[in-house]
A and B are shown apart, each in its own frame.
Chain A
């Protein structure tokens, strides 16, 4: 079993609030990712990191921001939540340092975010 954890599992919150979605992994992976997924739809990469102090935007434009101060921790922040941010957010990690690109990404259970 992969050891990657996301909190909260569900979040219902009002418009304008600041939100931080937590993601931690205990596998020592240096690569981490955030995906956004609407119900029944495909996953879209919104952020990724290849190591500490390294973050990049993904394919889908997102108003969220991320940070990678520690290897195991990759939180995602929304400064001012809006109803359009309602979605599922999935965090993933892959690969020990030096491992090739054939390593699968391991996912957390996701956060289902609903902005009222």
Chain B
């Protein structure tokens, strides 16, 4: 069975510092995709970054980068130079098999301290 695990229910980071949010996954499918979403307290889900299982390089989008370690089945999100507006829930998700459906982890609540 495919599964996403986020082991950090909550994290604190000082403004302007970098933070890593952990995500491990379990799948037997050779082809899969990994996504990170941000959910502010207002409730909407904001797409941040995508990594395909065959991508050779780690994905980057502005201050977001994905530390993809395929052998360890981990896809950690790195946020550089944290800002107060980064305070939110962060969800890791995996596209399963050959479908368009996603399964989500339980999320990590990040709080950026001024």
Contacts and interface: CB of A to CB of B under 8 A. Distances in A.
A115 B15 CA distance: 39
> Chain A contact residues: over half helix, strand or loop, or mixed?
loop
A69 B114 CA distance: 49
Q: Which of B98, B102, B105 has the most CB of A within 10 A?
A: B102
B104 A43 contact: yes
Given A31-B100, A101-B100, A88 B43 contact: yes
Interface stretch (B18-26, B44-52, B71-79): B44-52
Q: Contact size class for B?
A: 20 to 34
Interface residues of A, number: 29
B89 interface: yes
A88 B41 CA distance: 12
Nearest to A58: B101
16 contacts: A33-B101, A40-B107, A40-B109, A41-B106, A42-B107, A43-B104, A44-B104, A45-B102, A45-B103, A90-B43, A94-B100, A95-B100, A102-B50, A104-B50, A105-B35, A110-B45
